[in-house]
Amino acid sequence: MREAHSLERDVGMEYYVSDAPGTGGSLREAAADFRVRELEEFDTQPVDADTGDYPHLVFRATLTNWDTNGFARELSNKLGISRERVSWAGTKDRNAVTTQLFSVRDVAADALPEVPNADIDPVGRAGRPIRFGDLRGNDFTIVVRDADADPVDSVTSDLTAFGGDEADGTVGVPNYFGQQRFGSYRPVTHEVGLHVLREEWEEAVMAYIANPSEDEPPETQEARGFLEESRDWSAAIERYPRHLRYERAVLNTLAENGGETPEDFREALETFPSNLQRLFVHAAQSYVFNLILSERLERGLPFDRAVEGDVVCFADTDGEPVLPDTDRLQRVTKGRVDVVNRHVERGRAFVTAPLVGTDTEFGDGEPGEIEREVCEDVGVEPADFDLPGSFGSTGTRRAILVRTDLEVTRDPLTFDFALPKGSYATVLLREYLKSGPLDL
């Protein structure tokens, strides 16, 4: 195994699977170099269906250089409605061309506004909003610029062996949460989440709005540094660049409520939309999950098959791509290892690790030992997730391996593949580039 980039190790991704050298190069030199199209399962009625029975307008948007939350905010502002009335199945980053479904409640198709760098096409109406569960996966076409394609075959060979199915050439990688889950340039969301779990509201807020990173623009570093030293909320607002909307909103709340008590800081943190409040705790869960996978790699435990003590989940085969059904779990006892692994080999079951929450039950044997030791090292336990509002989480389990059929073309180096929902294209591509997360 090869040690990962330092920024990746900061978020729990401690190794590369492939020992082969990387191609180098960079992603997203232009938005069109990173194309994503969602694979959804969502039934709609015609656009002119009765709005009483079908109050949610569904539309497909192709967005260039928009992150999903930013587009939803812009759309809701133009419509003059709450952003909470806009729903979607999967959150996408900016610096890409993304095609995905949205729904918006109590809006007519002809009222949809024009939004810069967005092609919006009404699809139909529905009786409920689109939710995360409606997303099955994503198709990717990704161009890597200024790359050396020579190592591609060696990396592919390593990943095919790791995925456990060398016969059909399918590649596999640890199902890490990618860098963007935590912040590509400034990975702090998991730090905020860990403070939230300890109900350290002031530390959580300061981890987000202060805490400068050397990879940020100088004016942003200066603003965060000023706040860290002065704790002058009102003066800091004038220094923070206007594009840091969430930081400025938090600062405004602190300026209004005084920013002195834990309740003041919690109120400030709750200025975030509810989905972003959940993101902090989810990022803490993701960090623990990444560490569990890294420890499993270090100990040499397999990812493509179960060992005694693992917990597997069975497959939801009702659509494509096939997804893990984490409501159907089974502990792997010594006597059932071979039986379970026949299901795993056929794609009917997946080895899992926990996204820790109040309902988490750890595995047994060495897998369970890893899960408990990582949580102890980080300083979290299931009971910590018993928090009110958007901050609480019951937890779930997640497949530890993601596999895909990969097509690679050269000149320019281009990767075409599909991934199940929740898995990250950059986690696959980092194995090929090995050039660090800021190039992904």
User: Mean pLDDT, to the nearest integer, of 340-361?
Assistant: 96
Neighbours of 310 (CB within 10 A): 28
What percent of the chain has a predicted confidence (pLDDT) above 70? 99
Is pLDDT above 60 for 384? yes
Q: What is the largest CA-CA distance in the chain?
A: 66
The reported pLDDT for the residue numbered 438 is 84
Burial environment of residue 37 by CB neighbours within 10 A (0 to 12, 13 to 18, 19 or more): middle
Looking at every residue in the chain, the average pLDDT score rounds to: 94
The pLDDT value given to residue 1: 85
What is the distance of C-alpha 224 from the center of its chain? 25
Per-residue confidence (pLDDT) for residue 81, from 0 to 100: 96
To the nearest 10°, the Cα dihedral for 195, 197, 200, 204? 40
What is the average pLDDT across 366-375?
98
> Are 33-136 and 275-399 in the same CATH fold?
no
- 18 Cα distance to chain centroid: 22
Mean pLDDT of 203-223: 94
Active-site residue, selected from the candidate residues 33, 48, 93, 384: 93
Mean pLDDT of 325-343: 96
> Could you tell me the pLDDT band of residue 164, with boundaries at 50, 70 and 90?
confident
Q: Which of 257-266, 268-277, 426-435 has the lowest mean pLDDT?
A: 268-277
> With 60 as the cut, is the pLDDT of residue 167 above it?
no
- The residues pairing with 204 across neighbouring beta strands, listed in sequence order, are none
Q: What is the mean pLDDT of residues 86-113?
A: 94
CATH architecture assigned to 197-272: Orthogonal Bundle (1.10)
pLDDT digits (tens, 9 = 90+) for 400-410: 999 999 999 99
Residue 435: pLDDT over 80: yes
* Residue 38 φ/ψ, nearest 5 degrees: -70, 150
For 77-81, 203-207, 315-319, 431-435, which range has the lowest pLDDT when averaged over its residues? Answer: 315-319
Rounded (5°) CA angle 431-99-90? 70
pLDDT at 47 over 60: yes
CATH code assigned to 275-399: 3.30.2350.20
Q: Is the pLDDT reported for residue 166 higher than 70?
A: no
Residue 380 sits at the vertex; the CA angle it makes with 375 and 385, to the nearest 5 degrees, is: 125
Residue 132 pLDDT: 84
CATH for 33-136, among 3.30.1130.10, 3.10.20.30, 2.30.40.10, 3.30.70.3160?
Answer: 3.30.70.3160
- Stated as kind and residue range, the H or E segment containing 430 is helix 425-433
Range in 52-61, 89-98, 153-162 with the lowest mean pLDDT? 89-98
Count CB-CB contacts under 10 A for residue 282.
19
Q: Where are the domains of the chain?
A: 33-136, 197-272, 275-399
Residue 34 to residue 38: CA distance in whole angstroms: 13
231-269 tens-digit pLDDT: 999 999 999 999 999 999 999 999 999 999 999 999 999
Whether the per-residue pLDDT at 274 is higher than 90: the answer is no
Q: What H or E segment, with its residue span, contains residue 370?
A: helix 365-378
Q: Is 93 a catalytic residue?
A: yes
- The percent of residues above 90 in pLDDT, for the chain, comes to 88
C-alpha to C-alpha distances, 74 to 119, 192, 245, 377, nearest whole angstrom: 14, 26, 13, 41
Q: What pLDDT is recorded for position 102?
A: 97
Give the dihedral sign, CA 342/344/349/354: positive
Q: Please report the pLDDT score of residue 41 as a whole number.
A: 85
For the ranges 45-54, 144-153, 161-170, 308-317, the lowest mean pLDDT is seen at: 161-170
pLDDT band at 436 (very low <50, low <70, confident <90, very high): confident
